[in-house]
């Protein structure tokens, strides 16, 4: 559509400094008359553009009657001063004496008054002279233009440089924003100068901003907000949290998903390059006072170990035969322990590394303590620090620090208990061979020369067995463990969410902060991770950052209808009331609005009852994520902050596609057509949401998600969809309605602006006892405990 245009050629010559004096008045005039006004310094004219000619004429009248007369008064009667560039500097130089007396003595250096004329500084002299003239003339005219609602002060043109962060690799991606209302990507180097009335120039990795002081500050702030938002959205902030329900001292062990007792509850949609064998879960392990070691997790399936690529188990398998043959008589526990010790002794004699496959037990004895099975290749050099001293298991210490001993005999019992400290490999070999040839018993003697050299008595600090003090060992508790872990988790969650919320303050789109119940899985890339046990404060710094292990939350809560019915029962969501039921279709498509542009993935949201496009999602990003691991429980939960890029719904090809969609109100069968060269549907998702009102301000959404089967119609472009007959799964989400109103302000943000809400407003951190994080975690832990209790009753 063509726009009206009008130009005004004033008599007065405006400099950039003088233009900055009334720039804000022009901006307010633009809002009043709904026009766009610019001053062209090359043609020396005001350029007015509007949708209607009447708006241009209205703006022209106000400028001619109220703005230009103020400056026309500065023009002299000869129409010289004020109609072209000021030459006061040259006039000042011409008024100096043109003749100097002839010197009678030695020729002296002649110095003219003032600074020498420098071509490079001509602009600076010009601006200085203009400023002097304006100061002198401004004393006579100090009135303000009340009709334009602005005050004209003495502002100078300033230059400021915005340096682009080195974290930004692609300048093109940074300077090109999302789609605007005209379905074109935002070009910040063009839009920001138009919005602020400045001149912006890109020089390498810096942006030069010129204009009035306030305008330059505004443009600089817009680039800073865009940069902060871009960097924050480019990388997700992820933090895990471990929680145990008692003060009992624990460590964590990474268990392979296939050896997890409740792996049937872990349900996930795996990508083409993923499989269940790639993931692990975290299980708690506890210290046994009898052995002074951490025992195996109770939810670990014993009897087989996870396969390790590149390992040879043929030698370890030969050691398993005697164990299978000797499991028919005697006490089962004592025999199992004796066989494990024999296997470990033979393994050390034959110099075979300790392996998780060095012993195989019957699956029925899975609850027995089998160190070689659950620990894989670990050293078992467990240390328990009581605060006064460290207690180390003597047999593990011998394995860790003593070389392989010779074949034990009845005559070598003393040498077995008190081995020599061999400092040289050759001496060790010769000593071992010579000692094996001796046939006489070792006899202690008082003679110094006959006694063996470098014989050391190794005394290991021993801890009294708990069985001596009490008939049944009791677990070890740490009185302040829960509070310590609680503060650790709270600080991690607050830091993660604060960083994410600060990022999305300048994001234009849909923002959502919610919680979801599921299971936290782990991608273990190093065998060192599942070969050791870890403390809770080592997960982030060592396991994740050094070994590259990352948590991944399941993309569904469950596939089983009986489980979701259990979660929706009164035993779990007590005092909750059904509020509403809604249903929408999500068309996942590849679309473009011009044949010259590439296809981009989008999601069209349509209501079930009224076929109409209600939302167009260009992309969704998880800005911040907290994966909460509830140890010794079947389910975990996740706190996520997401941001969706939205586009207009009333433009092509979305409006065209909307006309080609039809739904049968009785059978709910759907038919639609792709738009050639513009839109192609990949798959359709049908979501049915039941919302429950819970303790204010929380609501619970139980969502049934179905991938609708699609079937093309022969000899036609139509495609039929059959909701109700596809694969379905369920999600259990918790939302805080207190955040709905602040987040809505992000839907109408202008470029480079931030929302009015603060991070403290969302997290409510002024009241630590009732802030958002505490209320979220408290309610979710209650849900997890209720679910575990009900599932335990069902299994009984």
Q: Are 505 and 757 in contact (CB under 8 A)?
A: yes
pLDDT in tens, 22-61: 887 888 888 888 898 888 887 788 889 888 888 888 888 8
pLDDT at 359 over 50: no
Q: How far apart are CA 508 and CA 376, in angstroms?
A: 50
Kind plus residue range of the DSSP H or E element containing 702: strand 698-708
| Nearest alpha-carbon partner for 501 in 169, 746, 768 | 746
User: What is the domain extent for residue 194?
Assistant: 158-235
pLDDT at 474 over 60: no
Is 149 part of a structural domain of the chain? Answer: no
CA 183 to chain centre: 28
Side-by-side strand order, sheet with 35-40: 4-8, 45-50, 35-40
Is 597 part of a structural domain of the chain? Answer: yes
Measured CA to CA in angstroms, residue 539 lies from 55, 241, 252, 335, 419 at distances of: 65, 9, 9, 37, 39
CB atoms within 10 A of CB 73: 12
DSSP-derived letter for residue 88 is H
Q: Verify that 621 and 756 share a domain, yes or no.
A: yes
Query: Hey, CA dihedral for 19, 24, 29, 30, is it positive or negative?
Result: positive
Is 279 part of a structural domain of the chain? Answer: no
More confident call, 543 vs 182? 543
More confident call, 139 vs 581? 581
Is 434 part of a structural domain of the chain? Answer: no
pLDDT at 231 over 70: yes
CA 723 to chain centre: 34
Q: Verify that 596 and 693 share a domain, yes or no.
A: yes
Q: How far apart are CA 539 and CA 546, in angstroms?
A: 10
Q: Verify that 595 and 728 share a domain, yes or no.
A: yes
What is the reported pLDDT for 177? 87
What CATH number is given to the structural domain containing 214?
3.30.1370.10
CB atoms within 10 A of CB 476: 16
Least confident window among 197-201, 361-365, 451-455, 758-762: 361-365
More confident call, 280 vs 341? 280
Least confident window among 362-366, 542-546, 755-759: 362-366
SS3 397: helix
Q: Are 670 and 606 in contact (CB under 8 A)?
A: no
What is the reported pLDDT for 188? 93
CB atoms within 10 A of CB 99: 5
Least confident window among 277-281, 373-377, 594-598, 792-796: 373-377
What is the reported pLDDT for 141? 38
pLDDT in tens, 293-308: 888 899 998 765 444 4
Domain boundary among 235, 259, 286: 235
What is the reported pLDDT for 276? 80
pLDDT at 125 over 50: no
Extended strands (E) in 139-198: 158-163, 176-179, 185-187
pLDDT at 98 over 90: no
Q: Verify that 59 and 186 share a domain, yes or no.
A: no
Share of the chain above pLDDT 90, in %: 44
Residues 6+ apart with CB under 8 A from 470: none
Q: How far apart are CA 254 and CA 4, in angstroms?
A: 70
Q: Verify that 560 and 651 share a domain, yes or no.
A: yes
- Burial pattern 232-253, b for ≥16 Cβ within 10 A else e, equals bbeeebbbbbbbbeebbebbbb
What is the reported pLDDT for 650? 87
More confident call, 701 vs 597? 701
pLDDT in tens, 643-685: 999 998 888 899 999 999 998 878 888 999 999 999 999 999 9
Least confident window among 191-195, 363-367, 586-590: 363-367
Phi, psi values for residue 360, rounded to 5°: -125, 130
Least confident window among 118-122, 502-506, 588-592: 118-122
Two structure tokens written together for 792:
């335990």
More confident call, 327 vs 727? 727
| Nearest alpha-carbon partner for 654 in 628, 678, 629 | 678
* Paired strand residues for 584: 607, 687
More confident call, 370 vs 475? 475
pLDDT band at residue 511 using 50, 70 and 90 as cut-offs? very high
What is the reported pLDDT for 143? 34
pLDDT in tens, 746-792: 999 999 999 999 999 999 887 767 789 999 999 999 999 999 999 99
Q: Verify that 674 and 581 share a domain, yes or no.
A: yes
What CATH number is given to the structural domain containing 36?
3.30.1370
Least confident window among 11-25, 99-113, 691-705, 774-788: 99-113
Query: What integer is the mean pLDDT of 92-119?
Result: 38
What CATH number is given to the structural domain containing 751?
3.20.100
SS (H, E, C) 498-541: HHHHHHHCCCCCEEEEEEEEECEEEECCCCCCCCCEECHHHHHH
Average pLDDT, the chain: 75
SS (H, E, C) 555-591: CCCECCHHHHHHHCCCCCCCCCEEEEEEEEEEEEEEE
First-to-last C-alpha distance (Å) of the chain: 74
Is 398 part of a structural domain of the chain? Answer: no
More confident call, 205 vs 152? 205
Burial of residue 796 (number of CB atoms within 10 Å: 0-12, 13-18, 19+): exposed
* Paired strand residues for 630: 243
Q: Which residue has the tokens 């002198």?
A: 136
SS3 291: coil
pLDDT at 344 over 80: no
Of 153-157, 270-274, 422-426, 506-510, the range with the highest mean pLDDT is 506-510
Domain boundary among 16, 49, 77: 77
pLDDT at 104 over 80: no
Is 670 part of a structural domain of the chain? Answer: yes
Number of domains in the chain: 3
Rounded to the nearest 10 degrees, what angle do helices 213-234 and 481-504 cross at? 130
Q: Tell me how long the chain is.
A: 796
What is the reported pLDDT for 459? 56
Q: What is the pTM of this model?
A: 0.63
| Nearest alpha-carbon partner for 550 in 236, 235, 231, 239 | 239
Is 386 part of a structural domain of the chain? Answer: no
Is 776 part of a structural domain of the chain? Answer: yes
Q: Verify that 567 and 690 share a domain, yes or no.
A: yes
SS3 4: strand
Query: What integer is the mean pLDDT of 180-191?
Result: 81
Domain boundary among 179, 206, 235: 235
Report cis status (omega within 30 of 0) of the bond before 365. Answer: no
Parallel, antiparallel, or unpaired for β 613-630 and 237-243?
parallel
């Amino acid at each position: 559509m063509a726009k009206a245009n009008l130009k005004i050629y004033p008599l007065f010559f405006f400099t950039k400094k003088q233009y900055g004096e009334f720039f804000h008045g022009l901006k307010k005039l633009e809002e009043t008359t709904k026009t766009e006004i610019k001053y062209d310094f090359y043609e020396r004219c005001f350029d007015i553009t509007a949708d209607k000619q009447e708006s241009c004429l209205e703006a022209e009248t106000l400028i001619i009657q109220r703005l230009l007369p103020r400056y026309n008064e500065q023009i002299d009667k000869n129409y010289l001063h004020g109609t072209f560039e000021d030459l006061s500097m040259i006039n000042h130089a011409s008024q100096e004496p043109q003749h100097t007396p002839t010197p009678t003595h030695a020729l002296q250096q002649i110095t003219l008054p003032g600074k020498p004329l420098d071509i490079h500084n001509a602009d600076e002299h010009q601006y200085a002279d203009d400023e002097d003239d304006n100061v002198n003339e401004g004393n006579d005219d100090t009135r303000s233009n009340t009709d334009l609602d602005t005050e004209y002060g003495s502002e100078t043109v300033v230059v400021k440089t915005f340096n682009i962060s080195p974290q930004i690799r692609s300048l093109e991606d940074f300077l090109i924003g999302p789609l605007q209302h005209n379905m074109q990507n935002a070009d910040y180097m063009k839009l920001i100068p138009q919005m602020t009335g400045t001149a912006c120039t890109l020089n390498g990795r810096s942006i030069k901003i010129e204009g009035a002081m306030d305008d330059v500050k505004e443009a600089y702030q817009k680039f800073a907000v865009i940069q902060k938002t871009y960097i924050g959205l480019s990388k997700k902030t992820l933090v895990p949290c471990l929680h145990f329900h008692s003060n009992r001292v624990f460590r964590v062990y990474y268990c392979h998903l296939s050896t997890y007792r409740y792996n049937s509850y872990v349900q996930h949609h795996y990508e083409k390059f993923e499989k269940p064998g790639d993931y692990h879960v975290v299980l708690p392990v506890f210290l046994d006072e009898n052995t002074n070691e951490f025992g195996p997790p109770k939810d670990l399936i014993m009897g087989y170990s996870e396969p390790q690529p590149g390992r040879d188990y043929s030698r370890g398998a030969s050691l398993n035969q005697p164990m299978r043959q000797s499991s028919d008589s005697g006490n089962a526990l004592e025999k199992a322990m004796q066989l494990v010790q024999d296997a470990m002794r033979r393994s050390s004699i034959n110099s075979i590394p300790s392996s998780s496959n060095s012993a195989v037990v019957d699956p029925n004895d899975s609850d027995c303590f089998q160190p070689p099975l659950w620990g894989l290749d670990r050293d078992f050099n467990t240390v328990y620090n009581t605060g006064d001293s460290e207690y180390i298991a003597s047999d593990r210490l011998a394995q860790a620090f003593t070389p392989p001993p010779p074949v034990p005999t009845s005559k070598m019992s003393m040498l077995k208990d008190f081995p020599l400290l061999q400092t040289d490999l050759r001496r060790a070999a010769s000593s071992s061979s010579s000692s094996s040839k001796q046939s006489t018993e070792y006899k202690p003697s008082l003679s110094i020369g006959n006694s063996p050299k470098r014989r050391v008595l190794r005394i290991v600090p021993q801890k009294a067995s708990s069985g001596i003090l009490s008939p049944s060992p009791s677990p070890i508790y740490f009185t302040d463990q829960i509070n310590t872990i609680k503060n650790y988790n709270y600080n991690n969650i607050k830091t993660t969410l604060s960083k994410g919320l600060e990022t999305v303050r300048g994001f234009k789109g849909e923002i959502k902060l919610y919680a979801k119940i599921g299971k936290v899985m782990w991608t273990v890339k190093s065998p060192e991770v599942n070969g050791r046990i870890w403390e809770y404060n080592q997960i982030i710094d060592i396991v994740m950052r050094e070994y590259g292990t990352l948590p991944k939350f399941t993309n569904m809560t469950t596939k089983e209808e009986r489980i979701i019915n259990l979660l929706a029962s009164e035993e779990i969501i007590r005092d909750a009331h059904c509020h509403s039921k809604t249903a929408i279709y999500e068309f996942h498509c590849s679309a473009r609005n011009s044949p010259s542009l590439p296809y981009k993935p989008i999601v069209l949201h349509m209501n079930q009852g009224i076929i109409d496009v209600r939302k167009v999602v260009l992309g969704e990003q998880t800005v911040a994520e907290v994966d909460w691991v509830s140890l010794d429980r079947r389910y975990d939960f996740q706190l996520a902050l997401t941001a969706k890029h939205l586009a207009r719904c009333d433009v092509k090809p979305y409006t065209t596609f909307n006309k080609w969609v039809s739904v049968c109100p009785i059978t709910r069968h759907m038919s639609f057509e792709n738009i050639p060269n513009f839109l192609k549907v990949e798959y359709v998702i049908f979501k049915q949401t039941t919302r429950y009102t819970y303790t204010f301000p929380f609501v619970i959404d139980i969502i049934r998600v179905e991938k609708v089967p699609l079937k093309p119609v022969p000899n036609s472009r139509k495609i039929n969809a059959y909701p109700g007959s596809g694969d379905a799964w369920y999600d259990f989400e918790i939302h805080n309605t207190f955040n709905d109103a602040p987040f809505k302000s992000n839907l109408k943000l202008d470029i480079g602006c931030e929302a009015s809400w603060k991070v403290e407003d969302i997290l409510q951190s002024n009241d630590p006892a009732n802030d958002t994080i505490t209320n979220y975690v408290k309610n979710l832990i209650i849900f997890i405990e209720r679910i575990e209790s009900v599932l335990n009753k069902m299994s009984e």
